[in-house]
């Protein structure tokens, strides 16, 4: 197994939502490359999915290479668009620093254009640069996509940050403006009250969304644990097969399969650690929102 590298990286962020579909981050990542880097003008996420042999029943289901519905999906996409997809595992340390590990999965021909994708567990994003190597210019997509959430960000920006400084700033500015324009103190007080109510409402909504994220993270951890258990069963089965066969070619094949299973298990264990760090951060953010809400309610 090659030595694990710790590399800085940048990606093109995406929400997984597009054209009425959700959980499509893998295909949005491919779409970003084909449309804005390879300059395929009329390509769409739906077209990419259809090329991969996917039906509408998976339009809100995330890509999972263990799901038989996605069997050979990326191979078909690579063949059609003459690309090679390379997937890298994103690792996270206790200090929230994220770094890119080795490529652990490849699809397509090594002679085709490289589409490098970062895997955050159950989320994928197109990689713009690894280390000091930039694969395409930042402004290629920044100048094309106006959606703020899809601009290029650094690895440190991937940390889950759901604070709402923009809401607080805008409501604060609104309060100041109302106060300066109104001759009556009561109008100013009303504006301040309205601003506080807006911030409280925003904090409550934000906490609800964070709670949903906590549930998703917990579900992902549970799914990974089940997948690791299944891999461990396959690992034991392959070890028994290896021991009981005398065919040298078959032994070599089984040994390779054992190594692949082992590597996948290690990747999934690292992803669980990543999710646990994310879970702690989400819980801290919810507590912070609750404290801020409480203080604002007292001040009112």
HEC assignment per residue over 99-155 = EEEEEEEEECCCCCEEEEEEECCCCEEEEEEECCEECCCHHHHHCCCCCHHHCEEEH
Q: What is the pLDDT of residue 101?
A: 78
Residues 172 and 219 in one domain: yes
Separation between Cα atoms, residue 85 and residue 108, nearest integer Å: 6
Q: What is the pLDDT of residue 222?
A: 82
Tokens 């000091």 belong to residue: 132
Q: Which tens digits make up the pLDDT trace of 195-249? A: 666 676 666 666 666 666 777 777 788 888 888 888 899 999 999 999 898 998 8
Whether 157 has a pLDDT exceeding 70, the answer reads no
Q: What is the pLDDT of residue 189?
A: 52
Closest CA to 70 of 117, 24, 115: 24
Q: What is the pLDDT of residue 152?
A: 34
Residues 186 and 73 in one domain: no
Higher per-residue confidence, 149 vs 273? 273
Q: 138 lies in a domain? A: yes
Residue 205 phi, psi (nearest 5): -60, -45
Separation between Cα atoms, residue 228 and residue 104, nearest integer Å: 16
Segment among 55-64, 163-172, 279-288 with least mean pLDDT: 163-172
Q: 250 lies in a domain? A: yes
Q: How many degrees, rounded to 5, is the angle at CA 85 between CA 64 and CA 118?
A: 65
Closest CA to 100 of 142, 129, 64: 129
Mean pLDDT of 139-148: 48
Q: How far apart are the first and last CA of the chain?
A: 61
Whether 52 has a pLDDT exceeding 70, the answer reads yes
Q: 287 lies in a domain? A: yes
Residues 19 and 145 in one domain: yes
Residue 117 phi, psi (nearest 5): -125, 135
Whether 54 has a pLDDT exceeding 90, the answer reads yes
Q: Are 272 and 224 in contact (CB under 8 A)?
A: yes
Query: Residue 273: pLDDT band by 50, 70, 90 thresholds?
Result: confident
Choose the final residue of a domain: 132, 158, 184: 158
Residues 185 and 145 in one domain: no
Higher per-residue confidence, 122 vs 117? 117
Q: 40 lies in a domain? A: yes
Residues 207 and 124 in one domain: no
Q: What is the pLDDT of residue 164?
A: 30
Q: 268 lies in a domain? A: yes
Separation between Cα atoms, residue 101 and residue 88, nearest integer Å: 6
Residues 233 and 152 in one domain: no
Choose the final residue of a domain: 134, 158, 182: 158
Range of the domain at 225: 165-299
Residues 127 and 91 in one domain: yes
**Mean of per-residue pLDDT scores for the chain:** 75
Residues ≥6 apart with Cβ < 8 Å to 114: 83, 84, 86, 135
Query: Residue 92: pLDDT band by 50, 70, 90 thresholds?
Result: confident
Segment among 21-35, 59-73, 162-176, 265-279 with least mean pLDDT: 162-176
Residues 197 and 126 in one domain: no
Residues 14 and 67 in one domain: yes
Domain count, the chain: 2
Whether 259 has a pLDDT exceeding 90, the answer reads no
Mean pLDDT of 164-186: 39
Q: Are 63 and 16 in contact (CB under 8 A)?
A: no
Separation between Cα atoms, residue 205 and residue 289, nearest integer Å: 10
Percent pLDDT > 70 in the chain is 68
Q: 3 lies in a domain? A: no
Choose the final residue of a domain: 158, 182, 212: 158
Q: How many residues does the chain have?
A: 300
Measured torsion, CA atoms of residues 229, 234, 239, 245, in degrees rounded to the nearest 10: 170
Residues ≥6 apart with Cβ < 8 Å to 98: 90, 91, 92, 155, 156, 158, 159
Residues 153 and 260 in one domain: no
Separation between Cα atoms, residue 27 and residue 50, nearest integer Å: 11
Q: 58 lies in a domain? A: yes
Percent pLDDT > 90 in the chain is 21
Segment among 69-83, 218-232, 274-288 with least mean pLDDT: 274-288
Separation between Cα atoms, residue 138 and residue 220, nearest integer Å: 31
Q: 1 lies in a domain? A: no
Q: What is the pLDDT of residue 276?
A: 82
Segment among 128-137, 192-201, 254-263 with least mean pLDDT: 192-201
Residues 99 and 126 in one domain: yes
Residues 152 and 212 in one domain: no
Query: Residue 41: pLDDT band by 50, 70, 90 thresholds?
Result: confident
Separation between Cα atoms, residue 28 and residue 33, nearest integer Å: 9
Q: What is the pLDDT of residue 162?
A: 33
């Amino acid at each position: 197994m090659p030595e694990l590298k710790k590399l800085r990286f940048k990606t093109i962020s995406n929400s997984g939502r597009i054209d009425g579909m959700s959980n499509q981050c893998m295909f949005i990542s491919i779409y970003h490359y084909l449309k804005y880097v390879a300059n395929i003008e009329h390509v769409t996420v739906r077209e990419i999915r259809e090329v991969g042999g996917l039906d509408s029943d998976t339009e809100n289901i995330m890509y999972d290479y263990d799901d038989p519905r996605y069997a050979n999906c990326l191979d078909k996409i690579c063949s059609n668009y003459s690309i090679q997809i390379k997937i890298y595992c994103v690792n996270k340390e206790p200090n929230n620093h994220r770094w890119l590990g080795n490529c652990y999965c490849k699809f397509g021909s090594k002679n085709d254009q490289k589409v490098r994708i970062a895997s955050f567990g159950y989320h994928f994003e197109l990689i713009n640069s690894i280390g000091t190597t930039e694969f395409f210019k930042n402004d290629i997509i920044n100048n094309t996509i106006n959606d703020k959430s899809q601009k290029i960000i650094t690895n440190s920006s991937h940390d889950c940050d759901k604070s709402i400084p923009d809401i607080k700033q805008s409501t604060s500015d609104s309060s100041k403006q109302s106060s300066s324009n109104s001759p009556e103190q009561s109008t100013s007080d009303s504006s301040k009250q309205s601003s506080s109510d807006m911030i409280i409402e925003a904090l409550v909504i934000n906490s609800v969304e964070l709670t949903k994220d906590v549930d998703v993270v917990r579900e992902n951890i549970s799914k990974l644990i089940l997948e690791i258990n299944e891999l461990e069963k396959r690992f034991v089965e392959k070890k028994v097969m290896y021991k009981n066969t005398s065919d040298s070619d078959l032994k070599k094949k089984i040994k390779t399969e054992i190594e692949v299973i082992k590597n996948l298990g290690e990747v999934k264990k690292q992803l669980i650690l990543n999710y646990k760090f994310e879970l702690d951060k989400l819980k801290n953010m919810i507590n912070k929102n609750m404290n801020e809400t409480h203080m604002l309610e007292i001040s009112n």
